[in-house]
């Protein structure tokens, strides 16, 4: 009897995960996946056939952009997709259910992106340069988590995927434009922890990286709570 109950629970979890994965990664996600892989392969080939120096820092930059592309579609267009398919009306019809649904979805989004980054990292470690793949993926997820939760927060206000995407691109361009001024600062959301400045000691760099990750983690929590709180206001969506 107990084994049957456990089997039913696991079957329910499997079906719930499969259903949400279909919703999250449906429609145009395949194009973002192809674009991210095409970008990765293109830069990888350039690195393979160029005579420039390949180090762990350059591999971090190589993997960051595909990760941002992978997280872009499901977080930016998630609310709009729910609205277009009338799923949003169902979620608002069940008290507090939408929070659980979106928490599960965000966990699934980041888990899938993390697995893809691990696979790409393993390939880079084999093709370019051996490096700690899990440590690389861990650091990559901080800016990816931050941009993903920020996109989720903005999508609850804008409610339009294209509009949210435009705002996220503007924010991304803004931070890229600031990189020259804050490149080695703890306030750089795209800080590369594997690119140690020549004029800085390793201990000082570790402190900057640690502070940067704390700042990003706080930003992730605040953006996530802000997005979930914004979902309370039913009149915005229905």
Question: Which of 116, 123, 107 has its CA nearest to residue 137?
Answer: 116
Question: Which has more pLDDT, 176 or 64?
Answer: 64
Across 51-60, 214-223, 225-234, which has the greatest mean pLDDT?
A: 214-223
Residue 96: how many CB atoms within 10 A of its CB?
A: 10
Average pLDDT over residues 218-229: 89
**Helix (H, G, I), strand (E, B), or coil: what is residue 84?**
helix
Q: Which pLDDT belongs to residue 7?
A: 60
- pLDDT tens for 12-28 read 555 666 656 666 666 66
> Is residue 146 predicted with pLDDT exceeding 90?
yes
Q: Which pLDDT belongs to residue 172?
A: 83
Cβ neighbours of residue 172 closer than 8 Å, sequence gap 6 or more: 68, 147
Average pLDDT over residues 71-96: 65
Cβ neighbours of residue 148 closer than 8 Å, sequence gap 6 or more: 71, 75, 106, 109, 110
What's the rounded Cα separation, in Å, for the pair 37 and 216? 26
Q: Which pLDDT belongs to residue 217?
A: 94
Spans of all domains in the chain: 28-236
State the Cα torsion 176-71-32-91 to the nearest 10°: -130
Share above pLDDT 70 across residues of the chain, in percent, rounded to a whole number? 73
What's the rounded Cα separation, in Å, for the pair 39 and 208? 29
Residue burial 75-90, b: 16+ Cβ < 10 Å; e: rest? bbbbbbbbbeeeebee
Q: Which pLDDT belongs to residue 162?
A: 82
What's the rounded Cα separation, in Å, for the pair 206 and 204? 5
């Amino acid at each position: 009897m107990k084994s049957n109950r456990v089997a039913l629970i696991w079957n329910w979890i499997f079906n719930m995960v499969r259903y949400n994965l279909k919703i999250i990664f449906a429609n145009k996600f395949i194009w973002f996946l192809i674009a991210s892989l095409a970008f990765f392969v293109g830069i990888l080939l350039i690195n393979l056939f160029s005579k420039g120096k390949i180090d762990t820092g350059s591999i971090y930059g190589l993997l960051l952009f595909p990760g941002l592309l992978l997280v872009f579609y499901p977080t930016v267009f998630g609310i709009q997709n729910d609205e277009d398919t009338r799923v949003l009306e169902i979620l608002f019809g069940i008290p507090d259910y939408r929070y659980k649904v979106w928490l599960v979805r965000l966990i699934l989004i980041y888990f899938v992106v993390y697995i893809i980054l691990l696979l790409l990292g393993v390939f880079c470690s084999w093709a370019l340069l051996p490096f700690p793949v899990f440590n690389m993926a861990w650091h990559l997820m901080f800016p990816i988590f931050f941009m993903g939760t920020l996109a989720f927060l903005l999508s609850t206000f804008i409610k339009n995927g294209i509009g949210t995407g435009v705002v996220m691109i503007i924010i991304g361009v803004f931070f890229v434009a600031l990189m020259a001024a804050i490149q080695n600062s703890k306030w750089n959301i795209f800080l590369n922890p594997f690119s140690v400045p020549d004029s800085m000691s390793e201990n000082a760099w570790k402190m900057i990286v640690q502070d940067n990750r704390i700042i990003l983690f706080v930003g992730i929590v605040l953006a996530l709570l802000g997005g979930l709180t914004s979902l309370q206001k039913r009149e915005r969506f229905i």
